[in-house]
Structure 1
Amino acid sequence: MRLDDENESSHYEVQRGGGGGSFGGGGLGIIGMLLGSRFGLGGIAILVIGALIMGINPLSLLGGGGGGGPQVQTEQPGTQELTPVQRTSLKVLGSTERRWSEIFSAEGQQYPPPTLVFYSQNGMSGCGAAQSAMGPFYCPTDQKVYLDTDFFNEMETRFNAPGDFPIGYIIAHEVGHHVQTITGISDKVRAGQKSGSEAQGNALQVAMELQADCYAGVWANRDKNLMEAGDLEEGLRAAQAIGDDTLQKAAGRRPVPESFTHGTAAQRMEWLRKGLSTGDPAQCDTFKGV
């Protein structure tokens, strides 16, 4: 991506001091190995489900009840030296702010940008504990994106998705969840999940994640000056690497569609590509037929 001339967002925080913290007697590490790290709003819900299956108190994993959460210190912008990956992330975030502000403005609305929170290994969010095994995630309670930048190394080494465009894709995907929250889509999905079966709830979660993928593509389409040769291929490779079927196969398991919460590799690539080709959020209706 061409980010040299892009302005960094000022909407960020850095959490320090949370590394090495323990949650629920090491339960997070076990669940992390079972689930794998991948980004999405569903990370917290998946973590809780995994805890219940394994007999672990989910409150201890999410920073409530039982185990004490990590002691973290939040530093505001301008008070610390940022790493190159953090600066790249903030340039992407700044780009998403400008593009979504344009989209909202065209509808006579104002876009309230999310805050990006950097942490290392363990941190705290408005939704409870932040842990690197969860992957990047968006918390609707405080409207912040949480990111352990070591995840980008994992994308390259574990998921074979190198390059700088996956950084943009990941952040733009989480921003997509923010758009879903402020437009009321998230509330409708949660209401549907409460009233439906587990399979129906998973299907709604998949649709929500695929829409965030499509929204990430919309951002990239509307900021084509950032795109370089090979970026599209990098993004599609990243989408393929984190498909539910890909991850379940990598874990030595037979893919079980009813258990999917983020979509197959083919679905994730399809909706990212659709956003990239249209640049129109209205084309990102992944809920048809769900």
Structure 2
Amino acid sequence: MRFNPKADISKGRVRDAGGGGGGGGMGGGGMRIPIPGGTRAGGGIGGILIIILFVILSQCMGGQLPGGGGGGAPQGQAQGDPEGIDNSDERYANCKTGADAEDDPDCARKAVALSLEQYWARTLPEQGGTELAPAQINTFAGAVDTGCGQASSQVGPFYCPPDQQIYLDTTFFDDVLEDQLGGQGGDFVEPYVLGHEYGHHIQNLLGTMNRVRTQKGPESDAVRLELQADCYAGMWTRDAEDSNLMTLDQGDIEEALDSAKAVGDDRIQQKSGQGVDPDGWTHGSSEQRMAWFMTGYEHGKLEACDTFAASQL
């Protein structure tokens, strides 16, 4: 992944939310990258029960998601300037150009955030008939307060529908995705995850989350929602591959696919020392996640990512 050194990345919506000690899992509602339970609390992952990986807010079942399904400004959006971009954050204050993104992973994150916003600001109205209300990306350490409740690092990266924001502890990628789940790593791993979580934001704006009724199983609505977010990540990757902001190569695509493989439900069950049990899946198998990412990458269309209409996942 390479960035155009002259590109202006200052408007990327990323801020550091700081963090605090302690804290448990989310009180409810976040759409998370799967993570084996207990990895931050000590001990290995063998024999540890998997976290409940997907929760739809109980009050949202069959109804409208708070803050979602119809655009409008995100409730928790930063108010630092007229466009709602917080430029006072010290961690990201020096991230101005693509040259900065080449040298600093924080600035690379800001550039990716800008690329995601620019892509969906064009694509969502054109293909979905809905204007984009941009999502804020928040980094944190330890724990953070969100519209879904307090979240600790143990939940992994997630999207919170009530405040329409994305949260991630950046140590996840080394500590869990590589060390615990055996992913190969690389500079496009985090962009793939951010693309997936931004995909959940698009689902929120389109009202797709309201379609979730069944929450476990290989053909469940929960799995369809997660695979669609992977497909949306593939759509963005296709556009970012040779854009004015960045360029990608085949190695980046392979890193995204390897990451999708690493967070497949079957892979996590195996790494947790359990047998593969499709009835417990909430995000889809490694094969499904890779396949739907490639569907978005190859076709670049929302309609191609309609996992809810697919007869076979």
- CA offset at residue 148 of structure 1? 0.5
Aligned equivalents of 1:219, 1:137: Cα separation in 2: 18
1:216 to 226, 229, 233: 233
Letter in 2 for 1:106: E
Aligned equivalents of 1:222, 1:230: Cα separation in 2: 16
Deviation per CA, 1:29-68: give whole Å up to 9, x if none. 994344668xxxx84629x9xxxxxxxxxxxxxxxxxxxx
1:234 aligned counterpart, secondary structure: helix
Q: CA distance change for structure 1 residues 231 and 130 in 2, over 3 Å: closer, same or farther? A: same
Letter in 1 for 2:179: T
Aligned equivalents of 1:279, 1:229: Cα separation in 2: 17
Query: What RMSD in Å do the two structures reach over aligned CA positions?
Result: 2.9
Q: CA distance change for structure 1 residues 214 and 123 in 2, over 3 Å: closer, same or farther? A: same
1:32 is the counterpart of 2:32: no
2:307 to 271, 280, 286: 286
Aligned equivalents of 1:45, 1:201: Cα separation in 2: 16
Letter in 2 for 1:32: G
Match of 1:81 in 2: 91
Match of 2:211 in 1: 188
1:80 aligned counterpart, secondary structure: coil
Deviation per CA, 1:91-139: give whole Å up to 9, x if none. 1111011111111232554211101111102111100111111110000
Q: CA distance change for structure 1 residues 136 and 23 in 2, over 3 Å: closer, same or farther? A: closer
Aligned sequence identity (%): 34
On the 8 A contact 1:135/1:147 being kept in 2, the answer is: yes
Match of 2:192 in 1: 169
On the 8 A contact 1:10/1:77 being kept in 2, the answer is: no
Contiguous gaps of at least 5 residues in structure 1: 49-74
5 Å-filtered alignment, 1:234-273, equals: 234-273=255-294
5 Å-filtered alignment, 1:196-215, equals: 199=216, 203-215=220-232
Match of 2:248 in 1: 227
Q: Which is further off, 9-18 or 226-235?
A: 9-18
1:130 to 151, 171, 177: 151
Contiguous gaps of at least 5 residues in structure 2: 26-34, 40-47, 59-79, 81-85, 96-103
1:97 to 102, 117, 138: 117
Q: CA distance change for structure 1 residues 204 and 172 in 2, over 3 Å: closer, same or farther? A: same
Aligned equivalents of 1:151, 1:9: Cα separation in 2: 25
Match of 1:14 in 2: 16
Higher relative contact order (CA 8 A, sep 6+): 2
Q: CA distance change for structure 1 residues 262 and 280 in 2, over 3 Å: closer, same or farther? A: same
Match of 1:52 in 2: none
2:180 to 141, 149, 158: 158
1:262 aligned counterpart, secondary structure: coil
1:114 to 135, 153, 167: 135
Structure with the largest fraction of helix: 1
